[in-house]
Amino acid sequence: MSRADTQEDLNAVIRQHSEVLAAQLHSQRESLFPPDASKSMRKFTSGEAAALLGVNDSYLRKLHLDGKGPSPEVSSGNRRHYSAEDIHNLRILLEKTARKPGDYLPGRRAGDHLQVIGVMNFKGGSGKTTSSAHLAQRLALKGYRVLAIDLDPQASLTALHGVQPEFDLLDGGTLYDAIRYEDPVPIAAVIRKTYIPNLDLIPGNLELMEFEHETPRALSRGNAGLFFFRVKEALAQVDERYDVVVIDCPPQLGFLTMSALSAATGVLVTIHPEMLDVMSMSQFLRMTADLMDVIADSGADMSHDWMRYLLTRYEPTDAPQNRIVAFLRTMYGDKVLNAPMLKSTAISDAGLTKQTLYEVERSAFTRTTYDRAIESLNAVNDEIAQLIQKTWGR
């Protein structure tokens, strides 16, 4: 048999594998979330609900017995379970009698500007999407009005929220529709409600790459304008609807990332504390600075409220990692978040069913594994929430 007979076109093989994988993922989603293949948020125990609201469990029980607020689901053993919607309604109720404004609804007030957080790094495995998803969900559960934007053509953030790009976004529906150069649509047209109150989503897919291809052509024709403002200008259309926007940036420094950086008021750079990752980040930071110089020279204001490094997939018992963490903290001081995101099988296991740790039941893991992971995530996200509050002068 000749070599020519056994060879295959690489593009044909890759396309076939892509289609088979997409079909299998779609089948998996339908089996996980029947009958309409849509996701829903789990119920929260009374203890979890009380912790989210910042009150005592006994106070929640009293509200229930007094007939105030939403009625929780009561299971055998008289255990109360609250939906995410119940918790949101309780926030509204409790805010009316709060000691000071914002105790239960911590979002923007008059004069506060929209917080746009760009989560970025171009090293694979840095936990960028995991960090984005958990941050957006935690902020929404804590009472902020959140818009999550998937700017990564690989669309992992989108898949985590129950949208499968290959099947659900056949006719567009990404941010590209709102920032393209010809006939852009209003950004509101591509915003989707999620199964979590206060959390909306703009999904992503491969269509986002069109912006990378079209921008050089538009620049050569002289009709791109200040292309790096396109994300910022699109977000301005829905400024009053949200407190925080979380952008999962692409893993490369292209035109999409430049546009996201121009829109961002805060930047979160994820770092896996391994030497190869830190070396890669050195190049990433240098390239980012060079690109931002170009944007600034074009007249953009590149000042940000804050920039922080988030240590991800951190293993406290790993001595080499600890040396790198100490190295980073010595160099960057308080620019490194105090709370690291610990490496946990709970987070990766939740990802197998396209869920975050906030979505899975505690009973799915050993108690110590779950508690350790959730405490780590909450510490990271609540530290970022404190940065947001500080930016608003609180």
Q: What confidence score (pLDDT) does residue 1 get?
A: 45
Exposure of 196 in the CB half-sphere (CA atoms within 13 A): 28
pTM for the structure as a whole: 0.89
How does DSSP assign 95-139, residue by residue? HTT-SSTTSS--S--TTPPPEEEEEE-SSTTS-HHHHHHHHHHHH
Contact 360, 41 (CB under 8 A): no
Q: What confidence score (pLDDT) does residue 340 get?
A: 95
Q: What confidence score (pLDDT) does residue 311 get?
A: 94
pLDDT tens per residue, range 105-120: 999 999 999 999 999 8
pLDDT < 50: residue spans in the chain: 1-5, 34-35
Phi-psi region of 102 (alpha: psi -120 to 50; beta: other; left: phi over 0): left
How does DSSP assign 290-350, residue by residue? HHHHHHHHTT-----SEEEEEE-SB-TT-HHHHHHHHHHHHHHGGGB-SS--B--HHHHHH
Distance CA 303, CA 49 (A): 38
pLDDT tens per residue, range 72-116: 998 888 889 999 999 999 999 999 998 888 999 999 999 999 999
Tokens of 382: 């609540």
Q: What confidence score (pLDDT) does residue 392 get?
A: 96
Q: What confidence score (pLDDT) does residue 14 get?
A: 66
Q: What confidence score (pLDDT) does residue 283 get?
A: 80
Q: What confidence score (pLDDT) does residue 226 get?
A: 74
Compute φ and ψ for 117, nearest 5 degrees.
-105, 115
